[in-house]
Amino acid sequence: MARSDNLTGALLMMASMAAFTLNDTFMKMLAGEVPLFQLLFLRGVITTVAVAAIALWNGALRARVSRRDRGFIALRMLTEIGAAYFFLTALFEMPLANVTAILQALPLTITLAAAVFMREPVGWRRVGAILAGFVGVLLIVRPGTEGFTIYSLYVLAAVGCVTLRDLTTRRLSAGTPSMLVTLTTSVAVMVFFGLASMTVEWAPMDLRAGGLTLAAGTMVIGGYLFSIMVMRVGEVSFVSPFRYTGLLWALVLGWAAFGEWPEPVTLLGAAIVVGSGLFMLYREARLGRARHAALRPRLR
């Protein structure tokens, strides 16, 4: 029996989340063994070479970019560098599932930022979902308690960077190829952390460390390619909820690789964040169908 486009899209979305979470796991396994800047530079070399090959193959390097888009791309580079630094610094010090759970708030922060800065309409139901999601984040972070660390703020800083990155991406012209934007961002991350790595003493890397770094770079590339393929099959409203399988991967890999398991209050907070995100997707799907129905020509 032929597989439906929706099922294919769901499988690709789960594969994308698995790849990104495996990348996080491989990087975390090198924490304390290889300096962060060294790791980010080496992973950047791997991803940049692969992305450059893809961009060359699909002709993205021949595209002309407007001056307006160049500014947005430059801002996107800075936010990507900040996101990588804050996220991995926190990941090296916090349980994998905790960091991943906080990142699930991204759909909420992006919706809120788009409403505030881009004047996109947001109804009271989605505002309520955003507020509930932020309560879930507070349960995960728990400021003022013994379990709170400065690294929880690092994750929130990473969420802020990614939110700004995604809003900037939405402002790019449709004619600017995604692969070109990805390549310039990858080069910027590689160069920045290459220069930063010169300020620390490089650690010698054995076969295990080299293999984990290569595997992390490969997973980043795979996650990105799967995420592109997802957008070409299936309905977005059906496929998008499978993004939250990343948290399930983080729970399983955190337990298997590091013996970590979140506290019950953290799991409760994660459930609230995911539930809020799913409700946002549900509302967006309903509004999208309503807009489509309103634009459909009436039968005479």
Q: How buried is residue 292: exposed, middle or buried, by Cβ count under 10 Å (0-12/13-18/19+)?
A: exposed
Give the model's pLDDT for residue 175.
83
Give the model's pLDDT for residue 300.
45
Ramachandran sector of residue 200 (left: φ over 0; alpha: ψ -120 to 50; beta: rest)? beta
Contact, 163 vs 102, CB < 8 A? no
Ramachandran sector of residue 234 (left: φ over 0; alpha: ψ -120 to 50; beta: rest)? left
**Distance, CA of 28 to CA of 65 (rounded, Å):** 37
**Distance, CA of 214 to CA of 292 (rounded, Å):** 45
Give the model's pLDDT for residue 5.
76
Give the model's pLDDT for residue 154.
95
Query: Could you tell me which of 41, 259, 239, 272 has the C-alpha nearest to residue 134?
Result: 272
Task: Spell out a b/e string for 99-109, using b for 16 or more CB atoms within 10 Å of the CB, else e.
Answer: bbbbbbbbbbb
Give the model's pLDDT for residue 292.
61
What length does the chain have? 300
Give the model's pLDDT for residue 124.
76
Q: What is the residue-level pLDDT of the chain in tens, covering all 300 positions?
A: 445 777 888 888 899 999 999 999 999 999 999 999 999 999 999 999 999 999 899 888 888 888 899 999 999 999 999 999 999 999 999 999 999 999 988 888 888 888 887 777 777 787 888 888 888 888 888 776 666 788 989 999 999 999 999 889 888 887 888 889 889 999 999 999 999 999 999 999 999 999 999 999 999 999 988 887 886 776 766 777 888 999 999 999 999 999 999 989 999 999 999 998 888 777 776 766 666 666 555 544
- Going by the DSSP 8-state scheme, the letter that residue 233 receives in this structure is S
**Distance, CA of 112 to CA of 155 (rounded, Å):** 18
- Residues near 140 by Cβ (< 8 Å), separated by ≥ 6? 98, 101, 102, 152, 266, 269, 270, 273
Give the model's pLDDT for residue 113.
84
